[in-house]
Every structure is written in structure tokens, then in C-alpha cells.
Amino acid sequence: DSIDLDLCYQTLLELVKQAEELIRNGINSAKEIQLKSCEVDLVTETDQQVEKLLISGLKEKFPNHQFIGEESTADGQKNELTDAPTWIIDPVDGTMNFVHSFPHVCISIALLINKVPEIAIITNPVLGQFFEARRGQGALLNGNKIHVSSVNELSKALLSLEVGTSRDPEKMKVVLRNVNTLVPLAHGIRALGSAALNMAMVAMGASDSYIEFGIHAWDIAAGDLIVREAGGVVIDPAGGEFDVMSRRCLCASSMELAQEIVKHIDQYYPGRD
Ligand code: IPD
């Protein structure tokens, strides 16, 4: 049966407005913090509340849809991306930032149908940055069209790299080696602490590329559509096709820049989502 994407979008928007309020209220309050996979992989009650609000609201309206959510996964739910309409949700991307009241935090959410992203929202309610995209309709920041930068060579590029939320020695070695390689070749290196916002920066032309190994589908599903709708590219860091469940991501303002970066970096292959 056909899916009413406008209804999906409107329903999501209403829920997101309520969820934003939870983050705005939570960021400067005392937080209850729990550890997940390790000492730098955290969850707060706000992460859990936001995910619950979004999933229960969407389920009520769309009982046949599927969900892949960061905190539901941490609670033992299995992830499987099928052709069914699937909402991929990170309730608080940048949880470490949230814990420290560093204001780069966002909700990241995408709807995929037949594994194709149709709707994406990345919203930072603390700084008032609302990024959105619908397939084929471009990407917007606070209602205005955005476009990736015109930078297409590494020597002029501002890059985002993240170590991520694991301290796996093998991965750290690769990431630090890549920092070593890229710093002398590029304009500069940044790490915002949120995969989704790193991608949003590429989409709005504020940075030129973002590379990470070990992220999860919920960190990058919305960013994938928003970057591509803003005219950028999202690929596998070894140069092939992007796979949202692969835990590997490279996005850039152009394919030329993306492939130049590919030539210089070392690779790491985490287990799939
Ligand atoms: C994390 C952030 C961080 C990235 C990690 C992610 P979370 O997401 O996006 O920037 O480096 O790989 O896990 O845990 O804050 O939702």
C-alpha cells in the first residue's frame, strides 16, 4: 500500500518539537548518566525519554512501520534494515556533549522506505539549527536552502574526524594515523562530537568533509540524505558505495575531494550494525 510521506513528515515534525523541548530543558540541568559499552559511551535519561517519545508517537500513527533506535538497541533490540518503512533514530547525537553542556547536540532521524532515505531531520534545539530534507526536494537549514561548499581539493578543505565512543586500540591507531596524515595536507581538522552535526556542517558548506569509522546507522542515516540533497556525496571511506549499516562513512562537498581523501587514509572495518 502507498505511503503518505506528507503525513509521515507532519507527524514527525510535531513529535520533534516536543522532543526538542526535552533537550533544551535537560542540557543545563543535573543529569543522570549511565555507561553503555565503555566509559566514554554514555546515556542519559534525556536520550531515553526522547527516543520513547518519538517511537511511541510514530508507532501510534504508523503501527506497521519499523524502528532502529540507539537506545532500544542498547536495551537489546535487534537491528535489521528491511524494505519496510523504517525510522532510524538517534534521540541525542552528541551525548558526551550533552553531558558536558557543550551545545552541539541534536536529534537525528530518517525514514527509509525500500532502504531509500525519504525524509531526514537533524535538529539542534540548543543553538536553533533545524536541518531537513526530503528526497528530490533539496536540503534546508531553518527553512532556507543550503548547499555544500565548492571546495574540491584537500589542500583547501576543512575536515571533520572523530575518534568516536570506543577506545578500541586498533581503531584508535587508524584514526590517529589518519589525523597525522591529513593535518599537513588540509586547511584544518575539527571534531564537533556529533556525527549528524558533522554531516550537517558539510551540507551547509561550513566544512568540506567528514570521515568516521565505528558510527552507527542512527548517527548517519539523516545526514546521508541531507548531504546528498545539498549537492554533496556520501560514500564508503574506501571509495565504494555507502552502506548505512556498515558503520563507515565519508561525506564530502564533491566526489573529487572524497576520492582524494580516500587515497590518503587508512581503513578500519568495525562489525556491522
Ligand atoms: C556519537 C557521536 C560522536 C561520534 C560517535 C557517535 P552518540 O553518537 O555522533 O560524534 O564520534 O561515533 O557514537 O553516542 O552521541 O549518539
Please tell me whether residues 98 and 184 are part of one structural domain: no
Distance CA 160, CA 182 (A): 11
Q: Does 6 appear as a known binding residue? A: no
The residue whose CB lies within 8 Å of the most ligand 1 atoms, and thus the one to mutate among 102, 219, 246, is 219
Decide if 272 is inside a domain: no
Decide if 273 is inside a domain: no
CA of 3 to the centre of ligand 1 (A): 31
Q: Given 145, 171, 188, which residue is the final one in a domain? A: 145
Q: Can you give the pLDDT at residue 61?
A: 97
Complex ipTM: 0.96
Please tell me whether residues 159 and 95 are part of one structural domain: no
- The grid cell for 131 is 536541518
Decide if 183 is inside a domain: yes
* pTM greater than 0.95 (yes/no): yes
The total of structural domains in the chain comes to 2
Please tell me whether residues 68 and 90 are part of one structural domain: yes
Please tell me whether residues 217 and 88 are part of one structural domain: no
- Does the CB atom of residue 195 touch ligand 1 within 6 A? yes
Question: 209 exposed, middle or buried (CB, 10 Å; 0-12, 13-18, 19+)?
Answer: buried
Query: Which residue carries 589518519 as its cell?
Result: 178
Q: Does 20 appear as a known binding residue? A: no
Please tell me whether residues 121 and 241 are part of one structural domain: no
List the pLDDT tens digit at each of the 273 positions of the chain: 689 999 999 999 999 999 999 999 999 999 999 998 899 988 999 999 999 999 999 999 999 999 999 988 888 888 899 999 999 999 999 999 999 999 999 999 999 999 999 999 999 999 999 999 999 999 999 999 999 999 999 999 999 999 999 999 999 999 999 999 999 999 999 999 999 999 999 999 999 999 999 999 999 999 999 999 999 999 999 999 999 999 999 999 999 999 999 999 999 999 999
CA of 9 to the centre of ligand 1 (A): 25
Q: Can you give the pLDDT at residue 162?
A: 97
- The grid cell for 80 is 535489521
Please tell me whether residues 132 and 211 are part of one structural domain: no
Please tell me whether residues 127 and 161 are part of one structural domain: no
Please tell me whether residues 116 and 196 are part of one structural domain: no
Decide if 269 is inside a domain: no
Q: Can you give the pLDDT at residue 1?
A: 63
Q: Does 208 appear as a known binding residue? A: no
Distance CA 34, CA 32 (A): 7
Please tell me whether residues 75 and 119 are part of one structural domain: yes
Determine contact, residues 150/141, Cβ cutoff 8 Å. Answer: no
Decide if 188 is inside a domain: yes
Q: Given 145, 180, 215, which residue is the final one in a domain? A: 145
Please tell me whether residues 133 and 205 are part of one structural domain: no
Identify the CATH number of the domain in which residue 165 sits: 3.40.190.80
Distance CA 104, CA 96 (A): 10
**Residue numbers of the domain that contains 19:** 5-145
Please tell me whether residues 160 and 31 are part of one structural domain: no
Decide if 247 is inside a domain: yes
Please tell me whether residues 74 and 202 are part of one structural domain: no
Q: Given 75, 110, 145, which residue is the final one in a domain? A: 145
- The grid cell for 103 is 551545545
